[in-house]
Structures are given as C-alpha cells and as structure tokens.
Structure 1
Amino acid sequence: MTAGPAYSGDVTVGGPPARRELRGLRVTKVAVGAYDNNAYLLECTATGERLLIDAAAEPDTLLDLIGPAGLGRVLTTHFHFDHWGALAEVVERTGATTLAHPADTVGIPVPTDTPVRGGDEVRVGEVLLRAVHLVGHTLGSLALVYGEPGGAHHVWTGDALFPGGVGKTHGEPALFTALLDGVEAGLFDVLGDDTWVYPGHGRDTTLGTERPHLPEWRERGW
C-alpha cells in the first residue's frame, strides 16, 4: 500500500500531524520543539497497541496526539537531548515502557525498561519491527524497519539517515565511515528502492532517492 494523497510526510512545528495508513500499521508523524524534531506514533490497526518513536519535545502536543487510547511503549532512537525532552512527562502520564539501545541509556535521563539491540524484534500488537543498530551519530543509535505485508519496507532512522546524507558524526572520520558503512550494510544492501524513510528531522525520503548519492557522500566525508 502506498501513501495516500493526504500524506506527504511534510509537517511543521505547530501544524497538524500527518497520518498514513499502511497494512496493519497506522503511522502518525508530528513535528515538535525548537529543533524541528519528528515524533512518530505507530499503532497496530488490529489490536490498537501503540509505540511512540522519540518523545522529543512539547509533551502536551504528544499527549494530545496519544489521546485517551493511551500508549504502551516509547522508543528513544538515541541519547541526544532533543530526542527525549518530553520523555519523562509522557512516561509519567501514560505509564509507557521505555526502550533504547544499551550504549545510549546513560545519556537518557529516564530509566530504560527494555534494552533494544541490533536484530531485536520490537512488537506493536501484531506488527513486527526489526531493530538496526547504527554506530556513528551516537554509539547506540537505532533504526526500526517494518516490512509491510505485500508492500514496501518502512524504516524510522532517527538521526542516522536523512534526505541528502547520513547524520552528523562530529567531524570524526572513523565515526562517519562507521555510520555510512552501517547504513549501507543494514539498510541499502538489504532493502529495496521503494523503502520509505522516516527521519528524526525534516521530510521523508526513500532509499531509491538516496542510493545514487552514496558514493558522493563517501567522497565528501559527511
């Protein structure tokens, strides 16, 4: 199932969320905070179970998005402060279980209930997501991949992959190489061009749009 005409993936802080209906999974994207972070609410359409990816900022906005249906779990893609600014309040108000990679839990000021490592399964009701560990932007950055039944793959990349390049690696060549190698091996080498990418900031993209530019990214070093 492809995106309907109402979904573009383009959201702005203070603006309405964007909703996308996939087979088995409802995706709602909202932009929050001073750093224009994206937060994603994933809901299993069969069971109503829900996962929030990055309680980044504006707890009232996120709680309004969650609404009375509640929230089961929240995953933090990495420890940078702009991705967990609303985490404490969202957890307190919803009782949600927290998930993050063990390498990044030290930088998240809310205890992690469930550590998630590369290759682990993250279930949202009947929906199965696969975790991909991507070292470079941080040591514990996570992406989540969903294979839509009979359709394309979908991947939530945090700050590891954006339109136009991988995430910042703070001027460290070894970290840049690790991140680009990981993105190529963990995403581009195993997923098709129609894979939809939902990043931690800004607009969506696809692997097919970005794939031709991989050599350019490696040559420029960022």
Structure 2
Amino acid sequence: MTYSGVVKVDGPADVHELTALMISKVAVGPMNNNAYLLRCRESGEQMLIDAANDTATLLQLIGDDSIASVVTTHRHGDHWQSLQAVVDATGARTYAGRYDVGGIPVATDVPVEDGDTIRVGRVELNVRRLIGHTPGSIVLIYDDPHGHPHVFTGDCLFPGGVGNTHDDPEAFASLLGGIEEKLFDRLSDETWVYPGHGHDTTLGAERPHLAEWRARGW
C-alpha cells in the first residue's frame, strides 16, 4: 500500500518503505504525538524518534528486534513520557540536542550538536539545531541516495507553519530563519517532512507560504 503518513491514536502504524530504510509512523495519546521507528534494511538495526507516550504501543512497534537508540527531538514533556520505560526495556542509547538535555529527566547518553551525524545501521542522519520552539530542538535529515531527502522535524515544522514560539517575536524570527536556512535553502521540494504531531507534508507544499508565515508572525 502507498504510504500516506495519516495515523491515529490506537490505530495501526503506517510504513514508508525506502530502498535502504523503513520508516514506521504511529500516533500516541493524549496529545496525538507521532513516534517514528527507523529500520536499516541492510543491518536490521532500529532507532526510535520520540518515545512520546503509550509505552505498550511503542514496544509493540519496536518488536522482538529491539532498538539500538532513541532520539528525543526536544525537551517538551509530551515527547519523552515513555522514554525511561523504553530505555529500561531495550537498553537503547539516548540522543538529544545538547541545549535541551537539561529539560529531559532521562539521562542523555549522546548530546548532539548542529552538523553531527546519528547512525542507524548503515544509514546516516544529519542533525540540525533549530532555535525558537526550544533552545535545543533538533531535526534529523536523511538524504536518501536512492531518492529525495526525508526530514524528521519534531515540533519545528508542520503543514501550515513553524512550531509554537509562544508569541515571542525573537523566537519566531529565529525558528523561521533557521528552517529557511537549514531546510528550505538546502533541500529540494520533494523533501518529505515527518512532524511531531499530525500529518506529513513536503517542503514543496510549504515553500510558497514562507512569506505569508513571516508576515503573520507565527
């Protein structure tokens, strides 16, 4: 079946099958967070992005092959409610942006900086720091050598706009400027965007609206 990225809490995962990577997306409650399981097709190694909630759902998604690592995109509590339980069950290494680790009450084994690389098996993901939603939010870019890029944006970019900057003009300008510089200016329109909540999008679908977002201020 064709991947749509449309999932609902208590519903099945949707699986995006790429040449070297499988991406499984589930929604968990109570805030309709997305969690993503990445599996290297060559090695079988797995990584989870955002152990948000519903531990049983996440462990079922992970399955018997377990995970080697779990990445937390940012420090807000709805993105790490199940982190300790998942780590306890799997022994996974934990990754998070260096400037957000103080707000995550589970030890971060590997704090990452802008430009770092996180690997899942043979697959490399590039880390980009975006300041505005939180000080240390990170996005993960998989530049698929067999196709177009794929970006896991946490709460920094959604269909229709950037993440919440709490009516802070400076934070908004920082976040919008960051996604323009590090995503829109560098990646193609075909780039698939996997956000922390809700439906997926592409950079091409959002690019025509950048000036509109800047003008409205959110």
TM over 0.5: yes
Question: How far does the alpha carbon of each residue in 1:176-196 deviate from its partner, in whole angstroms, 9 at most, with x for none?
Answer: 000000000000000000000
Gaps of 5+ in 2: none
Aligned to 2:174: 178
User: How far apart are 1:150 and its partner, in Å?
Assistant: 2.7
Is 1:73 matched up with 2:69?
Answer: yes
Answer whether contact 1:73 1:96 (CA < 8 A) is retained.
yes
User: How far apart are 1:120 and its partner, in Å?
Assistant: 0.3
Aligned to 1:48: 44
Aligned to 1:99: 95
- The 1-side partners of 2:142 and 2:63 are apart by 24
DSSP 3-state at the match of 1:69? coil
Q: Choose which of 166, 184, 195 in structure 2 pairs with 1:188.
A: 184
Is 1:208 matched up with 2:204?
Answer: yes
Deviating above 3 A after TM superposition, structure 1's stretches of 4 or more consecutive aligned residues are: none
Aligned to 1:219: 215
1:130-149 matched pairs, under 5 angstroms:
130-149=126-145
- The 1-side partners of 2:2 and 2:212 are apart by 33
Aligned to 2:195: 199
Answer whether contact 1:23 1:149 (CA < 8 A) is retained.
no
User: How far apart are 1:20 and its partner, in Å?
Assistant: 0.9
Question: How far does the alpha carbon of each residue in 1:140-159 deviate from its partner, in whole angstroms, 9 at most, with x for none?
Answer: 00000001113100000000
- The 2-side partners of 1:214 and 1:6 are apart by 29
Answer whether contact 1:49 1:71 (CA < 8 A) is retained.
yes
- Normalising to structure 2: TM-score of the pair? 0.99
- Normalising to structure 1: TM-score of the pair? 0.97
Aligned to 1:30: 26
1:84 maps to amino acid:
W
